[in-house]
Amino acid sequence: MSLFLIVALPFLGALLPGLMNAAGRQAVGGVTFTVTLAAFIGLLTNLPAVLAGEVVQTGFNWLPELGLNVTLMLDGLGFFFALLILGIGLLIITYARFYLAREDNMGEFFTYLLLFQGAMVGIVLSDNILLLLIFWELTSLSSFLLIGYWKHLEAGRQGARMALTVTGMGGLAMIGGMLLLGNIVGSYDLSVILQNREMIQADPMYVPALLLILLGAFTKSAQFPFHFWLPHAMAAPTPVSAYLHSATMVKAGIFLMARMWPVLSGTPEWFYIVTTAGLITMVLGAVIALFKHDLKALLAFSTVSHLGLITMLLGTGTAFGAFAAVFHIMNHATFKAALFMSAGIIDHETKTRDIRQLGGLRFLMPITFVIATLAALSMAGIPFLNGFLSKEMMLEEMEHTYLFGPTWLVPALATFGSLFSAAYCFRLIGHTFLGPKRDASSYPAKPHDPSAGLWLPPAILVVLVVVIGVAPFLVQDFVILIAKSVIGGVAELEVKYIKIWHGFVPALFMSIAAVVGGLIVLALFKPLSRLWESTPRPEAKNIFDDIMAAVLMYARALIHPLHNGAFTRYGMILAITVVAAGYHAWVTGALGAATREVQPVGLVEVAGWIMLVTATIGLAAMHHNRLLALILIGIVGLMVSIGFVFLSAPDLAMTQITVEVVTIILLLLALNFLPKQTPIESSVLRRVRDVVVAGAAGLATMALSYHYLLRDAVASPISDFHLANSYKGGGGTNMVNVILVDFRGFDTFGEIIVLGIAALLIYALTETLLNGPVRARLLNRIPDHPLSGTQHPMMMVVLTRVIMPVVLMVGFYIFLRGHNEPGGGFIAGLIVSIGVVMQYMASGFNWATDRQRFPYHGVIGTGVLIAGLTGIGSWMVGKPFLTSDFTYVRIPPFQEFELATAALFDVGVFLAVVGAVMLSLESFSRLARRAHVRDSDDPMDVDPSRTDVAKEGV
């Protein structure tokens, strides 16, 4: 199966659970299981190639200029992690189907789960670090949804926010590190980066890149000092905890360190940072886990500890350390997922996770007892279980690792961490299942083993725990294959097989000391617990909360004075900053001699400039009179249009003049609901300040423009390219139109989408006004001036209906000529909009609406859809999105003419413009109609004696 399909299946499948929610829990769980099973089988189809040592790669170049290639890679390491994600995912889905209560929205849960699953598979199969970063952030977002799934729990919401904050901040740091790494190598493809170890480690940016990447890995995998978020994520449903913290999310950071091991490891910086962080996390997590009374909290901190163990092994930089790390990732996934699911079973059946309320459950829940005990003993490192094998390897590696001088320090701390690891495992078994037999009524709920749907998934994992522990030769070749993918040829892997008995080596005595010491610590648990409770110690959560509160306080202190809603303040800050930066550049820079002469200025140009400046100054001085301000805006727009004509830019002139007409009409309608004058809101001193700032910005802009126009450009302007390729590449002689629909068609596509969104927002605001308290004010509004007795003058009615066909013909003509002469879809859309607007103005809203055949929402959508499908059509012939094509045809007796795909795109632009303008007009018209027409559907207290309310809307 294609790697693309393996990654895409969970994302596509995420659409199904919500749609099938009404079909029942069995259907939702079944479709989720089927989607994951399909991806799992697809992954297995690539197993022969992986076992043969091949690297399966697929992809295509999306944005090669930016280095963003959509490429996927499957080697031993990627296959191993994808196997864990999808394989354990199948068990978690089965478990969750029986775990979740009936009131839980199972469709929503499985939608989030599949989104997370797809993001994790995307991480481990990505061959481009930019693509990997996208999936990385998707895991943070989807895990936020999973952890906070139980929205009614404050702990769940807080745990989700904490996880998102910590992992999100680490993700931002990792983005910086990955970009540095890509710049060092000159490629963002992992397959290229992993071949340039010497280049990366010799570069001066190696250390910054290393620190930033490790920050992302440490936050995701809960390494000290970022370990605190993971236990608080335990407020999530147990299937989430079992999935995220055994095989997926927290393993993402481990995967990243393993993936980047060939190029980042082997330096003192890597060794000291990674090994130290892992060792501290291992010991600290184990000690804290022992004294937790909540089963899931104990398991959470045990996860922290074991993640530290794996990180420590990767930090050693040796091939054996990487081999042991890979083997422990496998073992940890099996016994930890089984333990989390066992804890969920206990919680599900007894209604408590508090170990102090449990004990003696081996008599009431024998199946759960066997499953949990075997998994816990494996985690403790007891022989003939898989955890023992990788723990022995860890102790063997630590016995040869020297950190900060003393040769005994690392082995002693590793043994100490293993001792507490054994102790909390023994406590989990002894305080939960052992002890005297108790009556079932002494528990919060009557304990009993659940149905097979809950105990079978962890039982399957425990079978693997035992089989691997007894017969490690079954997986040794696979583990060696994975380890070789990690070390990538940097070192020779000397391990030939995994052994249960290594002889009387130091690791054996360290292991015995850990197990015996764990039993002693368990025997002394009560006094140690009292000592732990009485000892003052910092709480990471409290520190995090204090830091977040301080950041929020300082952010508010900084933002509130600046971001207070006053546009004048924003404009002033921006203007002062730009002028100051420009002045600094002017003073410190060197300005070359002028290469052009000032062209002569005639009386016409001076007169136009005086009119433009006068209208602008008048607008600023008399803006309180809104109608006068609107007239002055129209004058400014007209003068700008004339300026475009003078500078030989007819397309811009036509666009400007049509936009002016449409916007003036819409603004006139809006003025109908506003006072004609606004009070003076600023003091004289503030207005003087604004004049000074605006004047400085204006003078600076004028000086920049003046000096720029007197000098030739340093580089060739892009217009040269457009002039040379407009006809040859786009088939049109009107360069402006070719730019809009061809060279920069994606910009135009985005603009019509924004235009449509703006019109829909105006419509939504209108709906809110008409259905809210403002509606009553509109219904009872009395015009401040008598309305005209003739609202629709006959002359205007007849004239607009006569010229409507002419307007449509002109619009059609402007549309067709746009590719070679001034015109195009945008201008044609505005012209037709003006013609339709005139019908509303002349004959009224009711008359025009009764003759409306197509909803304006649909016109906008159709336009965007046509433009989008035109762009997608280029994919069918292997071209980038919105690549246009053209040809010339001759149909007798007509002369030869051009057919271009850009014309279809222009149709979409035309429809989007017409729909947006008319939807905005319709929204304002509906407001006006509500203001002047009695609404019989709304029983308002309107005085029937009022005669000044018009009977018909505009």
Share of the chain above pLDDT 90, in %: 35
Average pLDDT, the chain: 85
Alpha helices in 203-267 (DSSP H): 206-220, 229-232, 238-244, 249-259, 261-264
Note whether 291 and 529 are within 8 A (CB): yes
Long-range pairs, 642-649, Cβ under 8 A, ≥24: 642/608, 643/608, 643/612, 646/605, 646/608, 649/736
Report the predicted TM-score, pTM, of the whole model to 2 decimal places.
0.72
- Residue 945: pLDDT band (50, 70, 90) is very low
For the stretch 425-453, pLDDT in tens is: 999 999 998 888 888 778 888 888 888 88
Residue 168 to residues 223, 249, 333, 401, 543, Cα–Cα distance (Å): 15, 13, 24, 33, 18
Note whether 437 and 431 are within 8 A (CB): no
Residue 57 pairs in a beta bridge with 73
Note whether 165 and 147 are within 8 A (CB): no
Handedness of CA 215, 220, 226, 227 (dihedral sign): negative
For the stretch 783-834, pLDDT in tens is: 666 666 566 778 888 888 888 899 999 999 988 888 888 888 889 999 998 8
Q: Average pLDDT of 906-934?
A: 77
Length of the chain in terms of residues written: 954
Instruction: Give the single-character DSSP code of 294.
Output: B
Whether 627 shows a pLDDT value over 90: the answer reads no
**CA of residue 406 relative to chain centroid, distance:** 46
Q: Average pLDDT of 200-212?
A: 93
Residue 830 to residues 68, 634, 738, 857, 954, Cα–Cα distance (Å): 38, 16, 19, 17, 21
For the stretch 686-714, pLDDT in tens is: 888 888 998 999 999 988 888 888 888 77
Give the pLDDT score at 948: 42
Q: Say whether the peptide bond before residue 538 is cis (omega within 30 degrees of 0).
A: no
Q: Average pLDDT of 82-110?
A: 90
Note whether 180 and 203 are within 8 A (CB): no
- Residue 346: pLDDT band (50, 70, 90) is very high
Note whether 99 and 246 are within 8 A (CB): no
Question: For the chain, first and last CA: distance in Å?
Answer: 63
Which phi and psi angles does 433 have, rounded to 5°? -110, -30
SS3 call for 821:
coil
Q: Which two tokens mark 681? A: 């809101």
For the chain, give percent helix, strand, coil, nearest 5: 70, 5, 25
Which phi and psi angles does 552 have, rounded to 5°? -65, -40
Q: Average pLDDT of 48-70?
A: 83
* Residue in 195, 326, 186, 206 with CA at minimum distance from that of residue 270: 206
Which of the residue ranges 97-101, 321-325, 346-350, 853-857 would you say has the lowest mean pLDDT?
Answer: 853-857
Share of the chain above pLDDT 70, in %: 93
Kindly compute the dihedral angle of the four CA atoms of residues 191, 193, 199, 204, in this order, to the nearest 10 degrees: -170
Give the pLDDT score at 502: 76
User: How many other CB atoms are there within 10 angstroms of residue 186's CB atom?
Assistant: 11
Whether 953 shows a pLDDT value over 50: the answer reads no
HEC letters along 259-271? HCHHHHCCCHHHH
